[in-house]
Structure 1
């Protein structure tokens, strides 16, 4: 089984840096394969990482093209946030996730906080079909209970009506697990200097 690793995060940083410098992206240094994947960008200011973009695919994708596509999609086209600017790059932290072990849950409580991510599907009282997902680390990072996580997923799906126990019982949950790897831009710079002999063109000082 392929696990998330340092080279995948480096490739995502390479891709985002190249978007602003017009340099060629160095070839990926990890094995090709087909897996569902996510790329998450956070901006670290004052020691507190804040989400700046998180997009991926629940379907298996070629890892090379998948990370290249979603590194940019999550950085520039997450509708919840303005696009990441070049000057923000030195403050970024990147996490790559590879999703595994998809299985149906027996009910909305049939999963473990910190272990399982979830794909939720349901029809709301107006018979609109809705779906949303959270990666395994989200509920634990937010300090949510299982019920709070389910309710938040309903809101993420766009449902703004009343949340009742009967509605929770009607949701379909597919749970999954993931491996992930996180790296801050400063560690990326250190890695690039060590392995390529020169720092990225977007350096450790803000780039305008």
Structure 2
């Protein structure tokens, strides 16, 4: 079993920093494998709880070496819910890497646990449109939702705005899953490379945000 770890989160920061500096990221420091995965970026601001800046991934198994590289940039720059992350935001970011495991199709749409399971909701709406959406395991607990509230939010996330009737609920297909995740702040990233890489690498990483900010200003 491969677990999400610090090296994966470091690689996501390496990838984003390298993008802003027009450089190649250092090679990953973890082994490969195939997993569904997500990359989530949040931003710290004025001591408040970090706010979401991008979250994109795949529910299908993918090589994690290329997956984290691709989704680091996709979630940071191309999540349509948010403006692209800018280089000047780097010092305020944290990244969470998630590997999804233990997929199970359940018999009832409430057969999952808040804080333990993520869920994929699929259904066909009254207009015969096929819809689907997912929340990672940590979302419902973070939002303080009950199971019903999480399911109703997923229905809306899937794009259906009509009434959520018992007939509609009878068409729900839910797949629950679990995840292994690791969260790293930019400060933790800088500390990691300070302890594990050469002096030149540390100097480059510390100045990356300033260099990139000037380049993209």
- Correspondence for 2:184: 183
Contact between 2:88 and 2:210, CA under 8 Å: does it hold in 1? Answer: no
Q: Which residue number in structure 2 is paired with residue 12 of structure 1?
A: 12
> Counterparts of 2:194 and 2:27 in 1: how far apart (Å)?
16
* TM-score relative to the length of structure 1: 0.96
The answer (yes or no) to whether the contact 1:90–1:204 under 8 Å persists in 2 is: no
1:169 — aligned with what?
170
1:71 & 1:89 partners in 2: Cα distance? 13
Runs of 5+ consecutive residues of structure 1 not aligned to the other structure? none
Whole-angstrom CA distance in 1 between matches of 2:211 and 2:107? 50
Deviation at 1:22, TM superposition (A): 1.5
Q: How do 1:22-33 residues align onto structure 2 when only pairs under 5 Å count?
A: 22-33=22-33
Counterpart for residue 93 of structure 2? 92
Q: Decide whether the 8 Å contact of 1:42 with 1:53 is kept in 2.
A: yes
- Give yes or no for contact 1:150–1:168 (8 Å, CA) kept in 2: no
Alignment of 1:4-153 (within 5 A): 4-47=4-47, 48-153=49-154
1:100 is paired with a residue whose SS is strand
CA distance in 2, matches of 1:165, 1:194: 57
Q: What is the RMSD of the two structures over their aligned residues, measured on CA atoms?
A: 1.5
SS at match of 2:99: strand
The answer to whether the aligner puts 1:3 opposite 2:9 as a matched pair is no
Does the 8 Å contact 1:76/1:82 carry over to 2?
yes
- In structure 2, relative to structure 1, the CA distance for the partners of 1:205 and 1:27 (3 Å cut) is closer
What is the CA distance between 1:165 and its match in structure 2? 3.0
Conserved 8 A contact 2:20-2:212: no
The alpha-carbon deviation at position 206 of structure 1 amounts to 9.6
Aligned to 2:208: 202
State how many pairs are aligned: 208
1:148 and 1:88 mapped to 2: Cα distance? Answer: 33
More helix by share: 2
CA distance in 2, matches of 1:207, 1:88: 9
Structure 2 Cα separation of the partners of residues 110 and 34 of structure 1: 27
Q: 1:41 & 1:155 partners in 2: Cα distance?
A: 23
Q: Secondary structure at the match of 2:152?
A: helix
Inter-partner Cα distance in structure 2 for 1:24 and 1:119 = 35
1:163 is displaced (CA, Å) by 1.6
Cα displacement string for residues 41-97 of structure 1 (whole angstroms, at most 9, x for unaligned residues): 001112311000000001111111000000000000111111101111111010000
Q: CA deviation at 1:202?
A: 2.2
Q: Distance in 2 between matches of 1:168 and 1:79?
A: 29
Instruction: Give secondary structure in 2 for the equivalent of 1:110.
Output: coil
What displacement does 1:193 show?
1.4
